[in-house]
């Protein structure tokens, strides 16, 4: 065997191993046989004093409503998971994750995804990757009038979320909506909104069986917004007013995961 062929076999072996580990990791977290293992890492996203104070004052209990949301919604689909999530609030990072490309190029996006996964591995300080752990990097920013936050994102491959949030304790509950939204992206959920943030009907609406023109009091989590009685698209005040719709439940394996779980216990 020539050295060139040997090198190709090695590279193919590494690729197969990487694909296998990714499949195993996704199967593990989507089985719903135990609480999600979530590591949350706060970052001062803009270097502001407001963000520094927000990061310094964070407590694990600040994110309890995310677990409460997952517990409540899992019960609606057949099993009460308690807890549904075990969250570890890790020490703050100074390094910023690599920014995604702005031009939407498929090749650049693929390269950025690999770069982000390598960056996450470097920040872990571990020799082996943390399989099965959802890693959420929350970048806090001081509010500026007329300046919107960067778009948050969640990647299923690597179980990575990058969340841009406001450095204001009064925004904590709405920040947690965004965190929960990106967390579900890592489990396979897709967005349920269109341009301008308007929910897509019917899958982006709570109570999708109702006509589209009727106002809602709750939002589908992967839409993140609802249409109120004034016809405006607004973000709900907190996760208490959010639900996991049937399409999202299927995407994150709520329905199948629970069916297999109960079948095995009989």
**First and final C-alpha spacing in the chain:** 53
Q: Reply yes or no on whether the pLDDT at 25 is more than 80.
A: no
Tokens standing for residue 185 = 């992206």
Sign of CA dihedral 60, 63, 68, 71: negative
Sign of CA dihedral 110, 249, 130, 42: positive
Residue ranges of domains in the chain, CATH in brackets = 32-265 (3.40.390)
Residue partners of 107: CB distance under 8 A and separation at least 6: none
Q: Do 81 and 70 meet the contact criterion of CB atoms below 8 Å apart?
A: yes
- Does 123 or 90 have the greater pLDDT score? 90
Residue partners of 150: CB distance under 8 A and separation at least 6: 99, 139, 164
d(CA 76, CA 23): 27
pLDDT tens by residue, 93-121: 999 999 988 877 888 888 899 899 999 98
Instruction: Report which secondary-structure segment, H or E, holds 40.
Output: strand 36-44
pLDDT tens by residue, 168-215: 999 999 999 999 999 999 999 999 999 889 999 999 999 999 999 999
d(CA 99, CA 82): 35
Please give the average per-residue pLDDT across 126-142, as a whole number.
Answer: 85
Provide, rounded to the nearest whole percent, the portion of the chain with pLDDT above 90.
65
Q: Do 174 and 237 meet the contact criterion of CB atoms below 8 Å apart?
A: yes
Q: Reply yes or no on whether the pLDDT at 216 is more than 80.
A: yes
Residue partners of 71: CB distance under 8 A and separation at least 6: 80, 81, 82, 83, 84
Q: Outline where the chain has alpha helix (H).
A: 3-29, 49-57, 64-76, 106-124, 172-186, 246-251, 254-265
- Say which range, 17-26, 81-90, 126-135, 221-230, has the weakest mean pLDDT: 17-26
């Amino acid at each position: 065997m020539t050295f060139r062929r040997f090198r190709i076999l090695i590279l193919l072996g590494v690729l197969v191993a990487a694909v296998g580990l990714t499949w195993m990791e996704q199967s593990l977290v989507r089985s719903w046989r135990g609480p999600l293992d979530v590591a949350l890492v706060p970052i001062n996203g803009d270097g502001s004093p407001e963000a520094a104070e927000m990061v310094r004052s964070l407590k694990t209990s600040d994110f309890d409503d995310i677990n409460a949301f997952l517990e409540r919604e899992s019960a609606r689909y057949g099993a009460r998971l308690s807890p549904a999530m075990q969250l570890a609030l890790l020490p703050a990072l100074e390094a910023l994750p690599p920014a995604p490309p702005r031009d939407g190029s498929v090749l650049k996006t693929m390269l950025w995804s690999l770069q982000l996964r390598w960056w996450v591995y470097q920040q872990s300080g571990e020799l082996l990757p943390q399989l099965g752990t959802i890693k959420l990097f929350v970048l806090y920013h001081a509010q500026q009038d007329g300046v919107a936050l960067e778009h948050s994102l969640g990647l299923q491959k690597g179980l990575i979320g990058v969340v841009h949030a406001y450095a204001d304790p009064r925004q904590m509950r709405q920040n947690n909506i965004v965190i929960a939204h990106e967390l579900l992206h890592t489990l396979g959920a897709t967005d349920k909104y269109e341009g301008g943030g308007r929910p897509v009907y019917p899958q982006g609406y709570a109570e999708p069986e109702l006509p589209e023109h009727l106002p809602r009091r709750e939002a589908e989590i992967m839409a993140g917004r609802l249409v109120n009685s004034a016809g405006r698209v607004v973000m709900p005040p907190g996760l208490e007013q959010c639900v996991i719709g049937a399409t999202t439940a299927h995407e994150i394996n709520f329905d199948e995961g629970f069916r297999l779980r109960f079948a095995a216990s009989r």
